[in-house]
Structure 1
């Protein structure tokens, strides 16, 4: 049953209406084209990485298992928002059921938390591999990787569940228009006509716990990696390590900077143009899933070699299917 107010009428509307990008409604259809292209690339790239890691037994190592977790999280994170967003931009399908909105809110923030945790785990894996190479297999054994991944998933679910509960119990006085492209927590809470202090405080708490702890561990890990790399005697080895770590850090920054910008703008950035805020929030869900297959997948030699091998096999099979006589002896 829907919660009720003192007059025994529903305290929330049956559905919300997603505004999209306030101020840019006329060009949303054009903006959706590159967004759709990024989503398709992210879906194909992360699916390819998952397929390669699953089918290649030699890739059942901590680094690749964490990469598979990241690819699965990216798929879930982008898919939880983009189909509905594209439908709103191109088809005008802006309505989203109240409970569907709460579910989307849960998935967005849960998978964002999981992605942060996986990036932290990958930084730890790189730290152990570079700074303690002889103990890497002992420290990050398969049971340890599974346990760490399970804890990251559990943390995300347990911390984010109260978001939907707290938002669901607030009265909205039939306010329908969400000034956003998806059901982000604070964008929904801003529609309430009741006391939302608990939502604001809990949101700050979750951000501090998740981002604060993960960024601290990532920063410490890469500081230790940097110190170890600078001690390498070979100039080429140092350059290679810097190149790898540099690309990884760029991906990490592409996730955390837009996330922090969006989080802080909701609470303190009243002077930031609303369309800028919404565009950054959209890219926050799309840029990391698009970049990760390139940086963590294509630039990883073993995965790159297997992708090329699979592509050649597919191409060869296609050619044989078109020209079956090519197999026959002359």
Structure 2
């Protein structure tokens, strides 16, 4: 394929993804009993509009839309980086036990800390981040060899750690009262529970910094994809750069866990779809993964809210239904 045709194809892909995202945002805003027209939205943004529709749009629907969108972006980029560093196309935050580590700390909090003693909104992201980092540190240490990270060992150790941690989490949950058990179970299944402007601002600020760092390191990701020996021969500090990139990916995924629970397969599917659309160059792949993750989670969240309305399906289940067949396809292919 010539360079000109490649640029045209890439531009077309990005345009279609943006159109799909805008359509998904519009559909999710109107995923409810009360439909909001473009004229009403414009009036509200100008400072007018009725109190009820204004409250519905600004306090309920837009925070939910942006939260699900940002969670999709964070998980997709995290999966893209983890796959690039480990050189393992099966790798993603959920499979490597990062979600399980966050879930263990959240469950332990509900079991051992009295309710009302601290703010859940403040502490939950810290717990999820700490649990994710702990699980990732164990995975990294067990997968590390003299030649760097072993992709096969990383996957196998991640599955083992995830299984062990999930078992401990289940044991802890048996001690919870029904209300706390239901909350933790919904959290583990993937539920956009923290849909408010505070979390939107937090995710936006953190993802802006982490995303800029990852995009700055896309050249390093391209070099790492060539293999340990080749990357070392080109002057890359493989171990140090891998730790930095994995740290950024884990930070993004842990923040997503804190707000969106134990979402699986988003970080697996989106990088692969983006790679098929735009190719393996990370300078193009990372932005394409951002859009793919945003599109997938926006539509998954809309389906979770409307499919069995007025009841709501945990968005993690919808994402898993979309991602599981693709994961099986990858297993069969390899």
Scaled by the length of structure 1, what TM-score is found? 0.34
The structure, 1 or 2, with the larger RCO (C-alpha pairs under 8 Å, 6+ apart) is 2
Scaled by the length of structure 2, what TM-score is found? 0.33
